Structures are given as C-alpha cells and as structure tokens.
C-alpha cells in the first residue's frame, strides 16, 4: 500500500525559478514529515521537516507548506540553482515509531 | 568514522547465491535502520535496530532476508538464495537517539542479481 504519493516524477526548472514538489498522504496518524535530498551515489540527506500542527516552515530557500485537512504537503525551492539538481523524497513517520514511509521521489534538474 | 559506511559499495551475484551487506554506523549511534531503494522507487523500510535488538522487522520482504547487529555497532543484512527482484540499492542509516534529526544515511550498497 503506497501511503505517501509524490509528484511530479521529474521536474525541470530554470535557474532562479521556483521548484515545487507535492506529496499526499493517507495515514492521519503520521506525525512528522521530512524531506530528503539525494545526489547520485550518495545516501539521502535530511533537508527540512515539519510537524502537522504547523502550516509552513522555512529554512533559507527551502519552504514546506502543510495542509492537514487536505492531507498534502509540498516543498518549495526558491531561486533554484544548478546545485539543487538532485532527487528529492518526501517522507512521513508514525508516532512512537522510527520507520519512515517515503514517496517515490522527484528528479529535479535546474538548468543554468 | 565521520559518517555511516557500507560495504561493499557494489555487489554482483548470481541468482540463488547468498549475500551479506555490512553497515558501520556512526560511533555512539544506538539506532540503526536498513532501507531498500529500487530503481525509480522511493525507499522501502526493512528493519530497525535499537541497540542489538530489532523491535521492528516488519519490512523484511521474505524469510530470505535477515539482519543482525552485534555490540550495538556493526550490522549485517543477509539475503539468502538471491532473486533478480532483490536487485536494488540497500541503504543503512544510524541515529544517535532514534530521532530523525540525528539520523544519517550511508552511501548504500548497489546489489545486482544476474
């Protein structure tokens, strides 16, 4: 059962543009929603995360928007740079657990 | 070491053979996780260790998969009688205290079953 759906599968933006990646979840018990960035040949690295009692969290050029009623959350990358080109994964965690359920990933390409 | 290390980085094996994948977590990290990443897919949880015990092994896809952790440190993921569908990148992560904020992933072992 795919509990976290991510879109788009791939995304191409121009340098300086805004990259937007969306995720939708089914399990209302999820209590933590991290985003990961993965470069080729590397493991995923935590980028930014949000709890469901907050509607938005911003760290530098990265912002998570969270809509609890719609069970959706999204990652916005402002002023996208070629160095942001990577695969991005959203994830969700159930309370009292340590396992994460991941989305399918979005391959972002930022053209110079 | 500075980060989570995994070995081998690449493994090619024949269908039916057994393989062992190793994970060296960050020193002092009590929690350890194994995930599988198939081509074009997200990460799939396999097993979680707290110390040497595995309170959550619900993600292991079949009884051909097993994992152990010794001394609260190194972990080995064993796949017996490998099948072609086992081909994937196997990622290990460790966490200081089980929190996502202190969790770091290794670079993975790329397994190819011919």
Do B28 and B106 meet the contact criterion of CB atoms below 8 Å apart?
no
3-state DSSP: chain A helix, strand, coil percent, rounded to 5? 5, 55, 40
Half-sphere exposure of A57 (CA within 13 A, CB side): 17
CB contact under 8 A, B56 and A104: no
pLDDT for the residue numbered B18: 98
Q: Give the residue from chain B lying closest to A9, CA to CA.
A: B40
Which two tokens mark A59? 């760290």
Half-sphere exposure of A7 (CA within 13 A, CB side): 4
Residues ≥6 apart with Cβ < 8 Å to A20? A11, A74, A75, A76, A77
| In the predicted structure, residue A2 carries a pLDDT above the cut 80 | no
Is B101 in CB contact (< 8 Å) with chain A? yes
Looking at the complex, report in whole angstroms how far the Cα of residue B60 sits from the nearest Cα belonging to chain A: 13
Half-sphere exposure of B86 (CA within 13 A, CB side): 30
Looking at the complex, report in whole angstroms how far the Cα of residue A91 sits from the nearest Cα belonging to chain B: 9
| In the predicted structure, residue A1 carries a pLDDT above the cut 60 | no
- Whole-number Å distance between alpha carbons of B81 and B18: 5
Which of B7, B37, B41, B43 is best to mutate for the A interface (most A CBs within 10 A)? B43
* Phi/psi at A82 (5° precision): -55, -30
pLDDT in 10s for each residue of chain B, 114 residues: 579 999 999 999 999 999 999 999 999 999 999 999 998 778 999 999 999 888 888 899 999 999 999 988 999 999 999 999 999 999 999 999 888 888 999 999 999 999
Do A80 and A88 meet the contact criterion of CB atoms below 8 Å apart?
no
Which of B40, B42, B96, B102 is best to mutate for the A interface (most A CBs within 10 A)? B42
Do B7 and B56 meet the contact criterion of CB atoms below 8 Å apart?
no
Percent of chain A with pLDDT over 90: 87
Is B96 in CB contact (< 8 Å) with chain A? no
Q: 3-class SS at B70?
A: coil
pLDDT for the residue numbered B72: 85
**Nearest by CB: A98 against B44, B98, B107:** B98
**Which letter does DSSP use for residue A32 in this model?**
B
**Which letter does DSSP use for residue A72 in this model?**
E
Q: Look at strands B88-95 and B103-105 and give their pairing.
A: antiparallel
**Cβ neighbours of A34 in B, within 8 Å:** 100
Q: Give the residue from chain B lying closest to A48, CA to CA.
A: B101
pLDDT for the residue numbered B46: 95
Looking at the complex, report in whole angstroms how far the Cα of residue B108 sits from the nearest Cα belonging to chain A: 6
Q: A54: part of which helix (H) or strand (E)?
A: none
Task: Read off the pLDDT of residues A57-105 as tens digits, 9 standing for 90 and up.
Answer: 999 999 999 999 999 999 999 999 999 999 999 999 987 667 899 999 9
> Residues of A near B (CB-CB distance < 8 A)?
4, 6, 32, 34, 41-46, 49, 89, 91, 93, 97-105
């Amino acid at each position: 059962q795919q509990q976290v759906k991510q879109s788009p599968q791939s995304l191409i933006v121009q340098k300086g543009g805004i990259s937007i990646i969306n995720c939708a979840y089914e399990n209302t018990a999820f209590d933590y929603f991290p985003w990961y960035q993965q470069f080729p040949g590397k493991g995923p690295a935590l980028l930014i995360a949000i709890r469901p009692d907050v509607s938005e969290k911003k760290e530098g050029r990265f912002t998570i928007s969270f809509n609890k009623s719609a069970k959706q959350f999204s990652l916005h990358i402002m002023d996208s740079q070629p160095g942001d080109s990577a695969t991005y994964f959203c994830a969700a965690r159930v309370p009292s657990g340590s396992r994460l359920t991941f989305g399918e990933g979005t391959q972002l390409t930022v053209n110079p | 070491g500075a980060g989570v290390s995994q070995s081998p980085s690449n493994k090619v094996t024949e269908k039916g053979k057994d393989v062992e994948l190793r994970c060296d977590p960050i020193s002092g990290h009590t929690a350890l996780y194994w995930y599988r990443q198939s081509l074009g897919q997200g990460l799939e949880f396999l097993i979680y260790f707290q110390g040497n015990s595995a309170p959550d092994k619900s993600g292991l896809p079949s009884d051909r998969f097993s994992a152990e952790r010794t001394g609260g440190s190194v972990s080995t993921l064993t796949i017996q009688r490998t099948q072609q569908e086992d081909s994937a990148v196997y990622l290990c992560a460790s966490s200081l205290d089980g929190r996502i904020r202190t969790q770091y992933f290794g670079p993975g072992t790329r397994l190819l079953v011919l």
